[in-house]
Chains A and B, each alone.
Chain A
Amino acid sequence: MKLSTLTLAAIMTAGAAIAGPVAPADVVFSEGAVAASLSGQPGDVANGAKIMSSKKLGNCIACHEVTALSEAPFHGEVGPLLDGVGDRWNQAELRGILSNAKLTYEGTVMPAYYKVDGFNRPGKAYTGKAADGPLDPLLSAQQIEDVVAFLMTLKDE
């Protein structure tokens, strides 16, 4: 909801020059990858690291171990170790995996961070109650870009 208003505002103010955030429903995937920045802006590496470690934001380390984030407590082992992931995938592929991992890995347990519909019994965050309006994506367009920027720094020397 918040985001589509944002998109509209961006289109009106920025005109054709800079693209605003792409709404979750309008993301163009090509073989699981997403070519263009979702926010139209570059990502912030430090903020990406924060989002990945924060339980309230990406909570990525709940499932993944990342050596570069070893300061943060409790890394999980449900997903693969993310060290070197910037060599394994390019930016567009990582953006795609984050936005909707199921298009890269069929049937994966990794949540889609930029998807707002097609869910069974969607809830109102973690209350256990039914959602009372359209869902926000788990991460905003800019947050996805920040995480992608951080992941791109994870390269094996």
Chain B
Amino acid sequence: MKFKAMTAIAALVISTPFMASADADDDQLVVNGEIEMITKAPAPAHLADALDEVISGWHMRSDETQEMQADDFDNPAMIFVEQAQDDWNTVMGTKDKSCASCHDNVEDSMAGVRTVYPKWNDAKETVYTMEMQINDCLTDGMGADAWKKSGAKMARMEALISVQSRGMPMNVAIDGPAEATWEQGKDLYYSRTGQLDLSCASCHEENYGNRIRSDHLSQGHINGFPVYRLKNSKLTTPHGRFKGCVRDTRAETYKPGSAEFIALELYVASRGNGLSVEAPSVRN
């Protein structure tokens, strides 16, 4: 905070070329000219001591990147959504079923689903990510093989399901039976790791809006996930992103699908409660 003020003053006084404007811009995201996205919202109650406002990472990206996300024809992630639509209708496994056999039209059956994941699964008595639910459908429901955690097929199916909730605010439950997992996720969020000794909060809570090398730090929300990354032209899942960020602290990472990343996903998702589902978003 203190240093944000300092850097802002420094920028005004010397205005060197490499000091581009910090902080979030005031642009508005309306997808396809019709879906109005909530990209800034009052922080959820559980974050009140840390943040006043939650801000989508979309605001930290360049105008060109932002525009790609504003129209499905320009959004390179939509091709993966189309592929997942084919998967949705494809019969797989020993029970001769497709996703559509149980869930009919994805547009109707999956609307709103993304806003509440990860969520407590009563039957399994544990917090479920969307990925875990998809794999249960594949194995138990369809007699098919599970998909690789955070793999390409999984990411695109998550994208297809998430698209059906675009514009709706994230609303993950953090109390009741999910609370212990949420607390574990919160601990992980604030735990420093690696030889650089940084936590998620070091970058995404204490320094959002600041540049770190060429990157403009966001608050690290996952309302836009899976996200299409221009740097590798692929969809990235939340666990894939977490892994990269932990690796960048010179730490031993956790594995995608691990209990730690499930807890972290619940916690990080809850920090973005109130922001619209933006998936599939476009980032660098």
Contact = CB atoms under 8 A, between A and B. Distances in A.
A131 interface: yes
B247 A78 contact: no
A144 to B, nearest CB: 15
A135 interface: yes
B247 A127 contact: yes
Nearest to A62: B213
A127 B211 CA distance: 23
Contacts of B203: 109
A122 B3 contact: no
A149 B103 CA distance: 67
Nearest to A136: B195
Contacts of A125: 250
Contacts of B250: 122-123, 125-126
Q: How large is the interface on B (under 10, 10 to 19, 20 to 34, 35 or more residues)?
A: 35 or more
Interface stretch (A28-36, A40-48, A65-73, A90-98): A65-73
B211 to A, nearest CB: 5
Given A65-B16, A81-B6, A111 B197 contact: yes
A78 B4 CA distance: 8
A129 interface: yes
Contact of B18 (A70, A78, A138): A70
B251 A80 contact: no
Interface string A110-142: 011000000111111111111100010010000
Chain B contact residues: over half helix, strand or loop, or mixed? loop
A123 B249 CA distance: 8
Specify which of A70, A79, A125, A128 lies most central, judged by the most chain B CB atoms within 10 Å of its CB.
Answer: A128
A79 B10 CA distance: 12
A108 to B, nearest CB: 9
Nearest to B254: A121
A80 B3 CA distance: 6
Nearest to B243: A128
A123 B247 contact: yes
B14 to A, nearest CB: 7
A123 B18 contact: no
Contacts of B7: 65, 77, 80-81
Contacts of A89: none
Contacts of A81: 6-7, 10
3 closest residue pairs by CB, A with B: A128-B247, A130-B252, A62-B213
27 contacts: A63-B212, A65-B16, A65-B18, A74-B18, A74-B213, A75-B19, A76-B210, A76-B212, A78-B210, A78-B212, A79-B3, A109-B203, A111-B197, A112-B197, A120-B191, A120-B194, A121-B193, A121-B194, A121-B251, A122-B195, A122-B252, A123-B194, A123-B251, A123-B253, A128-B246, A128-B253, A135-B195
